[in-house]
Amino acid sequence: MSDVIIIGGGPAGIGAAETLLSLGKTVMVLESAAFAGGVPLDLSCKGDVECTRCHVCMPRDSGSRMANASGLEVVPMAAIEGSSSKDGGTEFKLKISPRYVNIGKCTGCGKCAAACPVIGALVAPPHGAVPNAPYINSEICQHFTSKKCTECAKVCPTGAFDYDEKLKTAAVQGKAVIVATGMDPIDPTGVQHYGYGYLPNVLTSLDAERIIAEHGEIRRPTDGQKPKKIMIIQCVGSRTTKGGVEYCSKFCCKYGLRFARALVERVPDAQVDFLYMDLRTFEPRTEALAWIGDRKNFTVSQGVASVIQKGANNTLLVRRTTASDATIEEGTYDMVILSVGGQPRPETKVLAERLGLKTDSFGFVVSQDSWRGVFVAGSCKAPMDIEESFTDGKATALSVLSHLEVKR
Amino acid sequence: MSKINIVAFVCENHALSALKAASIAGDSLPESVKIVKIPCTGRLETTQMLDSIATGADGVVVIGCLEDNCFHDVGSMLARGRVDRIKDLLKDIKMEPERVEMINAASVSGAMLMLKIRQFEGKLAALPSLPFKGAIK
Amino acid sequence: MNSKVCIMLSDCGACSGIGKADTERIISMLSQESAGSVIMIKSLCGEDARKNLQDIPVGGCDRAVIGQWCPAERTGKAPKMPKSIDPALVDIVDLSLTSDKASKRNIERTVGALSQAAARLSLAEPLKERKIAFASKAVAVIGSSERAVAAARLLAFHGLTTKIIMPQTHSMKAKHLEVIDESNAQCLSGIPGNFKISLTRKGVETETDAAAVLLVGERCFADVNPPKDSKIKVIPLEQFAEHPSGAVGGMVFIDDLNAFNSKAAPVVPAWHTLLEATKTAAKDKLADNIAVVARDVKAAGLLELVWKEAAEAGVKFIRYDDKTRPKIEKGENLISVKDLVLGETLYLQADVLVAPITTRPWEPVFIEKLFIPSDWDFKARSRGPQRGISQSSCDGVFLVGYSNFAKLTDEIEPELSSTIVQIIAMMRQGYHIGKAAVAEITEAKCSACFTCVRTCPYRAAEMNDSWKAVIIADKCQGCGNCVAVCPSKAIELKNCTRPQIAKEIAASMEVVM
């Protein structure tokens, strides 16, 4: 039985795990994806020369430090099928999907990643991923789809690949449980007037991050060229009663501004316009915008984008209000990035019900059961950014410590 | 055998993590790049950058943490100041200032770092070769 | 120094991708340049292979470079050290870092990486880390706010000897808790586990010890002066939130009292408090007209819903921008502000103006003496993410609250809890690691310019009584920044000396020439 089972290996789960390990506790992290690390694994650092405090590296450095820690066991690709109280703790029945890589045999030599002919099939662990070993995405991998390709297995020096790995089941127990299942990005397809999904070069911030991760820089999906005029629209899917959620997702102002800054610094000949409803950064506004200086290629303005339409020559027309004089403007862009918010995962509600926890109408977990040792950390409780989730994970570790040690 | 030499001074914090992550992802360093690990780019002195060129390097790249997130607070900022001074010196002696560069990299930016290293190598390859290369030991 | 480096290369054909012939070629190229022996060893994966390494004849070498094809820390499979060599003089080289992943040769790269490591190692000193047990068993909390008291109590509750240093008197009593009241902390010195805090208590200079220090940021009540020429009553937001009162015609909440001037001072607005207060004011009908004037309505996260409730209860939210600040109309209880959405100027009845408290950052002198990392002007800076949550650049000194970076007031609680649990972990570990490769000053060369003292991020360089700078080895983290800034070149960093770097650069060139 582990001292603590942490469900979800995002920033909150990683923060809690690192702290509990440093206190000598045994920790098991159940993670639905192939790596523990959460959303930060998909995000890029927003600094070019100067750190912009985007905090993407903070939980990932933490993951990297504890990847080989004794006392830590990470179960990736795990789905919870059932739970019950047992022996004073909680038992979870798991379904573990195949990774097709034997983690114990992998030496991290990188030869498989170099040999794979399909982008996204052999996924190498990003910095901070735990376990620090690749996995095969069987939906894209040519071995599974058609051609029985075995390039990765051929170059692997230790024979770590097993294309025949099957689904497994397992039962795991922990004295205390931390629910840290985090948030999913909001799908802006429901925000119909923005045309996401059918207008070309309208991306979410996460789509843009994936392009940057693949190419090392931002490019238009339609023609692979660098964009010259980019519009970043904040609050997409948040603060709305149509096609999204009513609350404010909190992290997007901080994230959006830093993302904009990274774009401006790395694509210096592009024009970037940033459109926000309210600027909810926690540092004072003057500090948050100080980096702009006297740059002419970046504008920050308050307003609402009412519609995005297709323009001539593969451009996009964005119609928006201006805050200062209540007029309406139209601008032409060759890329629009929708800064989407986040919402709790549907699995969170199911898990909460299993564990006897309450969720609100949005799906956030709003109770915990410290008597039975079931705690909640991170953005599955309320919208949070990376730093706040990471901190909350550590704060929850303090409650867990009391539960494990203080005699009643 | 590569035709050019690049000495890369790499800090043992974020810069090295980025290179390791890139290595695990199958991204190979160009052969011209020789890594010299140092505890912090702030350790690096201007003389060491110049000596590298004097003893056979076509270029020097200093890779450190992002400023204001240097593990040792001020190291990468001091290093950039020194790299800028060397660039000015190179201009004064009619050498190309592009031979010495500083790259700030976070641990998570392995792919971007490799891209920048390859771009640096490309720029160096386009420069005329140094006349005194190999003369000084 | 008469040192000889033995270079060992593992013949891990599969992992290296290099055939035996090429491995032998590498060995012979290395032998030509190396003074010490060059040995091919069997693969480093199996238990037997690692045992063989222990007994390998190293041919009179006193130090060894081991070329390994898998990143040792990734697999946890570090080879056992050869018995006859001091482990502090063994360098394991991760050859996969510099190899071409798609190649089957990699000869020059491997020779290069191993030659460089051997060159560096040939001048190295055998140094070991030291575990320095904590001399003090106490945690010192500096701060007098409610949060500081709560933190101190929580630490004491978890069994840690805790001291709280505060300027006021306080009558609290708790097990494991010592209250050092009527005291002002002056200066912090020492190393983690053995800090000395000098303080003045009731006018007398005294000292106390601590293993870890927690600084809880203060908020001070700004002078909430009523604006000139008007009869508007100004109430601090915190005070209003605790004791909401009303029965006035018009109540205006402002996000920053300095909004009326042309320069706004930074404020960390307590938006949670502000929104709840307006909601209460509206629902309890504490005024006929309630308005909020703010640059940005920072109702982040689920606070958005509180904002909606307040708006539905009749509170008007008006945003101003940099060009059109709110103005106090002279002589009347009126505040005028241009509504950005409507485009017209509104006149708000303001019999009561509720404004949040301005926070005051730590005094520069306090920062300088108490290890809070600062920029060159000694203004407190926030820590970089590499340092983690609440850590200052000195291990064992933690910063929480407004002394750290800007955050909402309801985010301070988790920050405090996360810091307390880190302190508990630190105290349970009970030792500080003294780094092996520290900097060292050659006394004769030191010109007492203080540059290293000012540069060291860890305050490990100090001027002694003979006007010579010295490095406190137990504090030094081995970054080498002092080495590079010293104008007299009086400082060297062990195992990263100038001769070592020069030799390594030369070795990296040799392969290509």
Between A104 and C448, where is the model more confident?
C448
Pull the structure tokens for residue B136.
Answer: 């000084």
3-state SS string for chain A: CEEEEEECCCHHHHHHHHHHHHCCCCEEEECCCCCECCHHHHCCCCCCCECCCCCCHHHHHHHHHHCCCCCEEEECCEEEEEEEEECCEEEEEEEECCCCECCCCCCCCCHHHHHCCCCCCEECCCCCCECCCCEECCCCCHHHHCCCCCHHHHHCCCCCECCCCCCEEEEEEEEEEEECCCEEECCHHHCHHHCCCCCCCEEEHHHHHHHHHHHCCCCCCCCCCCCCEEEEEEEECCCCCCCCCCCCCCHHHHHHHHHHHHHHHHCCCCEEEEEECCCCCCCCHHHHHHHHCCCCCEEEEECCEEEEEECHHHCEEEEEECCCCCCEEEEEECEEEEEECEEECHHHHHHHHHHCCCECCCCCECCCECCCCEEECHHHCCCCCHHHHHHHHHHHHHHHHHHHHCCC
Q: Residues of C with CB below 8 A from A401's CB?
A: 158, 421, 424
- Residue C392: partners with Cβ closer than 8 Å, 6 or more residues away: C371, C372, C373, C383, C398, C399
Judged by a CB distance cut-off of 8 A, whether residue C266 touches chain A is: yes
Give the integer Cα–Cα distance in Å for C509 and B48.
Answer: 14
Q: Cβ A47–B69 below 8 Å, yes or no?
A: yes
Quote the percentage of chain A above a pLDDT of 70.
99
Chain C residues closer than 8 Å to A62 by CB: 388
Q: Which residue of A has its CA nearest to B24?
A: A110
**B13 three-class SS:** coil
Cα–Cα dist C411/A119, whole Å:
41
Q: What pLDDT score was predicted for residue C79?
A: 65
Amino acid at C381: R
Q: Do A47 and B106 touch (CB under 8 A)?
A: yes
pLDDT of residue A116 exceeding 50: yes
Summarize pLDDT for B11-41 with one digit per residue, the tens. 999 999 999 999 999 999 999 999 999 999 9
What percentage of residues in chain C have a pLDDT greater than 90?
40
3-state secondary structure C127-188: CCCEEEECCCCEEEEECCCHHHHHHHHHHHHCCCEEEEECCCCCCCCCCCEEEECCEEEEEE
Contact check, Cβ <8 Å, B51/C387 = no
pLDDT band at B42 (very low <50, low <70, confident <90, very high): very high
User: Which of C94, C454, C501, C503 best probes binding to B when mutated, by most B CB atoms within 10 angstroms?
Assistant: C501
A155 touches chain B (CB under 8 A): no
Q: What number is the average pLDDT over the span A37-41? A: 95
CB-based contact A132 B24, cutoff 8 Å: yes
Inform me whether the C-beta atom of residue A38 falls under 8 Å from chain B C-beta atoms: no
Closest residue on chain A to B18 (Cα): A127
Per the CB < 8 Å rule, is C418 touching A19? yes
Task: Name all domains of chain B by residue range, CATH numbers in brackets.
Answer: 6-126 (3.40.50)
A contact test, residue of B12, B78, B107 with most A CBs within 10 A: B107
Q: Please say if the pLDDT value at position A161 is more than 90.
A: yes
CA-CA distance, B57 to A401, in Å (whole number)? Answer: 55
Is the four-CA dihedral C158, C159, C161, C167 of positive or negative sign?
Answer: positive
CB proximity under 8 Å: C 353-382 to A: 382
Measure CB to CB from residue B73 to each of C108, C457, C483 and give the nearest one. C457
Which pLDDT tens digit goes with each residue over A382-403? 999 999 999 999 999 999 999 9
How high is the pLDDT of residue C373? 52
Q: Please answer yes or no on whether A64 and B66 come within 8 Å at the CB atom.
A: no
Residues in chain B with CB shorter than 8 Å from the CB of C98 are 29, 33, 35
Neighbours of chain B (3+ CB pairs under 8 A): A, C
Question: How far, in Å, CA of A248 to CA of C297, rounded?
Answer: 11
Question: pLDDT tens, C61-72?
Answer: 999 998 888 765
Chain A residues whose CB is inside 8 A of the C416 CB are 395
**Which sign does the torsion angle of CA B88, B93, B94, B97 carry?**
negative
What would the two tokens of residue A163 be? 């294309």
Average pLDDT value for residue range C368-390: 61
Specify the pLDDT at position A79. 96
Q: What's the confidence (pLDDT) of residue A406?
A: 80
pLDDT at position C379 over 50: no
Of C373, C477, C504, which has the smallest distance from its Cβ to B36's Cβ? C504
Give how far Cα A169 sits from Cα of A28, A80, A161, Å.
Answer: 16, 10, 20
Mean pLDDT of chain B: 92
> How many CA atoms does the CB half-sphere of A3 hold within 13 Å?
20
The CA-CA-CA angle for residues A281, A287, A292, to 5°, reads: 100
Contact across the interface for B78 and C485, Cβ inside 8 Å: yes
Candidates A206, A322, A328, A337; CA nearest to A270 is: A337
Tell me how close the Cα of B99 comes to any Cα of chain C, in angstroms.
Answer: 16
Partner-chain contact C389 A115, CB within 8 Å: no
More confident residue, B106 or C333: B106
**Is B67 near chain A, with CB under 8 Å?**
yes
pLDDT tens string A45-101:
999 999 998 999 999 999 999 988 999 999 999 999 999 998 889 999 999 999 999
Residue C481's SS3 state is helix
Does B106 contact A128 at a Cβ distance shorter than 8 Å?
no
Lowest model confidence (mean pLDDT) among A130-134, A176-180, B107-111, C339-343: C339-343
CB-CB neighbors (< 8 A) of A112 in chain B? 26
- Chain A positions in Cβ-Cβ contact with residue B75 (cut-off 8 Å): none
A115-119, A262-266, A377-381, C202-206 — most confident range: A377-381
Q: Give the tens place of pLDDT for each residue, C7-55.
A: 988 777 667 777 888 888 888 888 888 888 888 877 666 555 566 677 7
List, in order of start, the domains of chain C with CATH numbers.
5-127 (3.40.50), 138-219+362-432 (3.50.50.60), 233-355 (3.50.50.60), 435-494 (3.30.70.20)
Phi, psi of B7 (to 5 degrees): -95, 125
| CATH numbers and ranges of domains, chain A | 2-97+167-182+345-405 (3.50.50.60), 105-159 (no CATH), 187-342 (3.50.50.60)
Give residue A294's identity as a one-letter amino acid code.
D
Answer whether B17 sits within 8 Å of A45, measured CB to CB.
no
Name residues whose C-beta falls within 8 Å of residue A182's C-beta, 6 or more positions apart in sequence.
Answer: A8, A10, A11, A12, A38, A39, A344, A345, A378, A379, A380, A389
- The reply to whether B43 touches chain C by the CB within 8 Å rule is yes
Interface check for B75 against chain A (CB to CB < 8 A): the answer is no
Contacts of A130 in chain B (CB under 8 A): none
Task: Reply yes or no on whether the pLDDT at C123 is more than 90.
Answer: yes
Contact C425 A58 (CB under 8 A): no
> Strand, coil or helix: what is C37?
coil
- Sign, CA torsion A169/A343/A13/A403: negative
- CA–CA distance, A101 with A110 (Å, rounded to integer): 13
Higher-confidence position of C360 and A216: A216
Confidence of residue C111 (pLDDT cuts 50, 70, 90): very high
* pLDDT tens track for A136-158: 999 999 998 887 899 999 988 88
Chains that touch C (3 or more CB pairs under 8 A): A, B
Quote the pLDDT of residue C513: 43
- Residue B21 at interface with chain A, using a CB cutoff of 8 Å: yes
Instruction: Give the pLDDT band (50/70/90) at residue C390.
Output: confident
pLDDT > 80? residue C229: no
- Helix, strand or coil, per DSSP, at residue C337: strand
Rounded-to-integer distance, Cα B75 and Cα B15, Å: 13
> Does the beta-carbon distance from C505 to B68 stay under 8 Å?
no
Per-residue pLDDT of C284-324, as tens digits, reads 999 999 999 988 888 999 999 999 999 999 999 998 877 78
Amino acid at C245: S
User: What is the number of CB-based contacts under 8 A between chain A and chain B?
Assistant: 90
A208: pLDDT strictly greater than 80: yes
On whether the CB atoms of residues B28 and B44 are closer than 8 A, the answer is: no
Report how far apart, in Å, the C-alpha atoms of A295 and of each of A196, A292, A335, B75, C71 are. 30, 6, 20, 28, 44
Name, in order, each residue with C-beta under 8 angstroms of A66's C-beta and a sequence gap of 6 or more. A14, A17, A18, A21, A72, A130
Q: Which residues contact B32 (CB under 8 A, 6 or more apart)?
A: B2, B3, B4, B5, B6, B58, B121, B124
For the cut 60, the answer to whether the pLDDT of residue C235 exceeds it is: yes
For residue C502, the chain B residue with the least C-alpha distance is B48
Residue of B nearest to A65 (CA): B17
What is the rounded average pLDDT for all residues in chain C?
84
* Contact check, Cβ <8 Å, A127/B17: yes
B65 interfaces chain C, CB cutoff of 8 Å = yes
Query: Minimal CA–CA distance to C420: which of C394, C392, C401, C398?
Result: C398
Which among B21, B67, B112 has the least Cβ separation from residue A216?
Answer: B112
- Average pLDDT of the segment spanning A332-351: 95
Q: Distance between CA C309 and CA C283 in Å, rounded?
A: 10
Average pLDDT of the segment spanning C474-486: 95
pTM of the model: 0.94
